[in-house]
Amino acid sequence: MTDQKRYIAHLDLDCFYVSVERIKNPALIGKPVVVGGSPQGRGVVASASYEARAFGVRSAMPAAQALRLCPTLIIVRGDYRSYTGYSNRLYKRMLDFAPVVERASIDEMYMDFTGCESLYEDDLPHFMHTLKRLVWDEFKLPCTIALASNKILAKIAAGTVKPNGLCVVPHGEEKQFLAPLPVESIPGVGKVSEARLKQHGFRTISDLQNSSQEKMEHLLGAHGVWFFRVANGEGSTTVHTSHRRKSISHEETFARNIKDRAELEKVLYGIVQEVSSTVREKKCKACTITLKIRYSDFTTVMRARTIAPSNDDPVIFHVVRELLLKNYTGRLPLRLLGVKLSSLVDERQQELDLFVDPRRSEVLKAVDKLRKKFGDDVIQVGST
């Protein structure tokens, strides 16, 4: 079994947020588009189309800077519930083709096809073309797919053919495929590591292959060992069947600093609605609630409290409101508020509790359905 060839595919949705927005509004197709916050405030770019990237626009860039680089840029506010919905549906569909699928992020997943060769006429490379076409035909989402002998190699390979590409790295040709790529192609090689590597003459992965593990460890410690092994085609072949989120959080950076407590509480309740709804969607309840506040001078304070498991907006808001009143000094206005729900438990276990009112759970589910259909502002759950 240890000698069995491994077949790991990496599927990466191209400009995922923008792609979903283009499904909703085809007039955006072919135009420079970003999903992000307002350029009048402190909004940042969450996703940029390749038309926008041609102007130098990148993710995490301030929206105002992006607009200066591309005056014709179209900025769309994110609809993260919609993105999650598309991601969930695609994940479930991929389970029809691979026995093990791992979600690496909302727009990336790994699929283990090891042992499935006969199911696809012993031609997995051809099936990758079929799979890529299926994602477009059924979901209208452009994607890049790479097939290789391990996860990290598949991810690197996908990066060489984005967007809307397909790459297969044959077994035994891993080092040959990697050799000409720049060292920064290896995930984890950031600007500092890249500069240090190039300072010592390492510019391509071939340069790493011709070095030694001992030299790389001396240069970059444990990271150097990792880079050396990846350069030589090594990587994990373990695709995890499931992954439960340990926490769910949401934060909001204000367009202008806020000091008024009533206004802060209003913003805070909106954040609570967002995270509570997401937790309910995951069929979970939270035992730990954390409030994050950031002052205008960037001083950040985080305070947490443990409660009986809950996903009820008013219950969670009551806790974070108390944390805000207790910990916000008012010495400076705030630029950010955030709420994190963690220590998540399965709500179905909690429903066995005799003190849980099942009617309340049904009310909250109905509220979530209305919000998904008509928007977050259509209905509010009382905050007290």
Q: List residues with catalytic annotation.
A: 108
Q: Is residue 287 within 8 Å of 305, Cβ to Cβ?
A: no
The number of CA neighbours under 13 Å toward the Cβ of 217 is 6
- What does the pLDDT read at residue 95? 92
- What does the pLDDT read at residue 42? 72
**Residue for token pair 């009143």:** 325
Average pLDDT score, the chain: 88
- What does the pLDDT read at residue 1? 42
Strand order of the sheet with strand 8-13? 100-105, 108-112, 8-13, 143-148, 166-168
The Cα–Cα gap between 106 and 100 comes to 17
Q: What values do phi and psi take at 319, rounded to 5? A: -70, -50
Helices (H) and strands (E) counted in the chain, each on its own, are 15, 12
For 220-224, what is the mean pLDDT?
91
How many C-beta neighbours within 10 Å does residue 139 have? 17
Q: What sign has the CA pseudo-torsion 122, 87, 12, 173?
A: negative
The Cα–Cα gap between 282 and 261 comes to 31
- pLDDT band with cut points at 50, 70 and 90 for residue 350: very low
Q: Which pTM was predicted? A: 0.67
- Helix (H) / strand (E) containing 346: strand 334-346
- What does the pLDDT read at residue 24? 96
